[in-house]
């Protein structure tokens, strides 16, 4: 997967606390907790993408 594809997919979506609260189990999550969780998910996604890209070089 190229960086361009990943960047395009990320630009077409908004990952924030509002997005997170649309999922079952996160509806009542506080703004602060939701922002922290989204940041952790983005960090994890970056790690996974880097790992996948390194495996395909």
Structure confidence at residue 4 as a pLDDT band (50, 70, 90): low
Number of domains the chain contains:
1
Phi, psi of 9 (to 5 degrees): -65, -40
Distance of CA 37 to the CA centre of its chain: 9
Q: Which domain holds residue 20?
A: 3-55
Q: Exposed, middle or buried: residue 26 (CB in 10 Å: 0-12, 13-18, 19+)? A: middle
Q: What is the pTM of this model?
A: 0.69
User: Is residue 31 scored above 70 in pLDDT?
Assistant: yes
The answer for residues whose C-beta is within 8 angstroms of residue 31's C-beta and 6 or more apart is 17
Q: Where are the alpha helices (DSSP H) in the chain?
A: 3-11, 17-20, 31-55
User: Is residue 1 scored above 50 in pLDDT?
Assistant: no
């Amino acid at each position: 997967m190229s960086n361009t594809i990943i960047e395009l997919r990320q630009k077409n979506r908004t990952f924030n606390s509002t997005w997170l609260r649309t999922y079952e189990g996160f509806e009542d999550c506080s703004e602060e907790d939701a922002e922290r969780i989204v940041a952790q998910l983005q960090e994890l996604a970056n790690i996974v993408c880097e790992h996948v890209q390194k495996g395909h070089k």
